[in-house]
Amino acid sequence: MNRTSIYLNLRELYCTVGHDIIIDVVGNTSAFSMMGESSGYMITVNGHVYLLECGSPVFPYLGYKGIAGIKGIFGTHSHEDHKRWFTDIVLFNFYNPHSKERLRLISCEPVLEEYRKNSKGALERSLSIDSKRIVDIPYDVMVEECIIGPREKYFINLKDNKDGTFRYCIEDLDGNEIGPDRAKIFINHRANRPRLLFKDEDSGEWVEPASYYPFSSTSFYEKEKNDFYDDEAGLTVRAIKSSVWHGLPSVAFKFMTKKSSLLYSADTVWKPSLWKELCETYRPQHFDKVSRDEFEKSAIIYADINDFIERTWSRERYERAMEAYKGSVVIHDIAPKKSIVHTDYADIANAPFENMIYTHNPDNLTSTRPMLSSGKRVIVNGEKLFEHVKGKLFPFDADIYIRHWSRNMIGYKSKNGPYKVIERDGLLGIAEIERPENGIMQVELFEEINGEYFPLLTSADEYYSPRPDGRVEKIKITKNRTSGRVVKSVRGKIR
């Protein structure tokens, strides 16, 4: 099929299909990017708008009206590059006279708890209206917490003894305390935050339940999936935990309409070989610093919990993780290599997923899959993914995608292409065809500007410049003058 006939008119698509999921990229760079965008996306379904993450500068992107119009924020975890603007949005919503409701924060229980802990200091104390007194403002007055995903059956509670003292204990949802034969609290003096150790009934092994069980397990979670519904938008959102491996409490989200499904994987290590090892490897407990007798009797233990966790993942979690991406368009975070808490490019580059696009990108990466960038609008239509550019939808059909700091390029295979794609240690790069290294493919490169493609310029005296009216000029610098002329995109016309 000729590429000029592939793109779809946006208006025609909505008239015939509907229920598409629109993603507007506010920011998508890694936490330590020199571009300074971080993570933030707008999800729109039938005119209803949500924020997915809020680590990017949303005020200059959305404006006051845009911020006031969002119906809620989906938060995957509490790292600052994903939530940096959260308290600012909450305060704006609270003091905005046109805002009538609290800001809705949507996530699983542990993530909501982390948001609350990390945000209260900036939110719960202010000045009175006359500026004469310091007043306390409860977090719940400003933020409506919306739990997505099944609730935990057992949790650590800081219990009031009614005599001015408090103590940690483990309770179930009915308020019954759980004895040390079934669950224990570990406090590591280096972190001083309690973690729960739990005895799995089926295996008899001691595990950390938040890591060990998927949401589908009724050993630790309630049976109710607790999906999020927006009936007006025709949107259902499901929390996915099994495939998310990031360290701190984290969750992925699957956005679903009648015809479309989008999975946002969140920061994670996607590596099935590692996942299999996590569920198959048994680690014996170490009683070097805590005796076996003390361990069996104690409800609270001051030690490293990792000395007593016997298995990291359950077989059920591994199986659910392997199935998590099926049937959805996937937006997945990516990293170069040896990133520890993110997915290395080499681990997922050839994974069997047809419709996947990368985000949370490093500043310099070459990929065979498309990468998001700030300002892009992508449309999930059924099982297909398109980019919206000036009222038209285009498929992501390039053979190679290049992000080089603030510059984006794409490439198509070409027998006469002046460049080749090379591979070193699992990472891809671009080299001139005359270089002695073997190439994976020979390509012709194009510069991408706001979703449009233009022939790559190689002279230092020429460059492309976007105009305020949306058109692009090719600028030429000579000794005595600078001149420019409007050029047209070749996207959809290359082959």
Q: What are phi and psi of 34, to 5 degrees?
A: -75, -15
**Amino acid (one-letter) located at 80:** E
Q: What is the pLDDT of residue 231?
A: 97
Return d(Cα 241, Cα 254) in angstroms, integer: 11
Per-residue pLDDT tens, the chain, 495 aa: give them: 333 334 444 444 443 345 699 999 999 999 999 988 899 999 999 999 999 999 999 999 999 999 999 999 999 999 999 999 999 999 999 999 888 899 999 999 999 999 999 999 999 999 999 999 999 999 999 999 999 999 999 999 999 999 999 999 999 999 999 999 999 999 999 998 999 999 999 999 999 999 999 999 999 999 999 999 999 999 999 999 999 999 999 999 999 999 999 999 999 999 999 999 999 999 999 999 999 999 999 999 999 999 999 999 999 999 999 999 999 999 999 999 999 999 999 999 999 999 999 999 999 999 999 999 999 999 999 989 999 999 999 999 999 999 999 899 999 999 999 999 999 999 999 999 999 999 999 999 999 999 999 999 999 999 999 999 999 999 999 999 999 999 999 999 986
Q: What is the pLDDT of residue 494?
A: 85
Quick check: 84 and 31 in contact, CB under 8 A? no
Q: What is the pLDDT of residue 18?
A: 55
Nearest to 37 by CA among 453, 449, 465, 375: 375
Alpha-carbon radius of gyration of the chain? 26
Q: What is the pLDDT of residue 6?
A: 40
Angle at which helix 315-323 crosses helix 272-280, to 10 degrees, equals 160
Length of the chain: 495
Around Cβ 259, how many Cβ atoms within 10 Å? Answer: 15
Return d(Cα 478, Cα 193) in angstroms, integer: 64
Return d(Cα 337, Cα 271) in angstroms, integer: 12
1-149+225-265+325-396 falls under which CATH superfamily? Ribonuclease Z/Hydroxyacylglutathione hydrolase-like (3.60.15.10)
Which two tokens mark 302?
């001051």
Place of tokens 């510069």: 447
For the purposes of burial, counting CB atoms within 10 Å of the CB of 53, is it exposed (0-12), middle (13-18) or buried (19 or more)?
Answer: buried
Quick check: 198 and 302 in contact, CB under 8 A? no
Q: What is the pLDDT of residue 19?
A: 66
Give buried/exposed letters for 125-138 (b at 16+ CB in 10 A, else e). Answer: ebeeeeeeeeeeee
Q: Where are the domains of the chain?
A: 1-149+225-265+325-396, 151-222+269-318, 400-487
Return d(Cα 169, Cα 192) in angstroms, integer: 15
Return d(Cα 140, Cα 126) in angstroms, integer: 15
Which two tokens mark 355?
């419709």
Quick check: 148 and 227 in contact, CB under 8 A? yes
Residue 6: partners with Cβ closer than 8 Å, 6 or more residues away:
394, 395, 397, 492
Place of tokens 């099944």: 150
Quick check: 214 and 149 in contact, CB under 8 A? no
Q: What is the pLDDT of residue 98?
A: 86
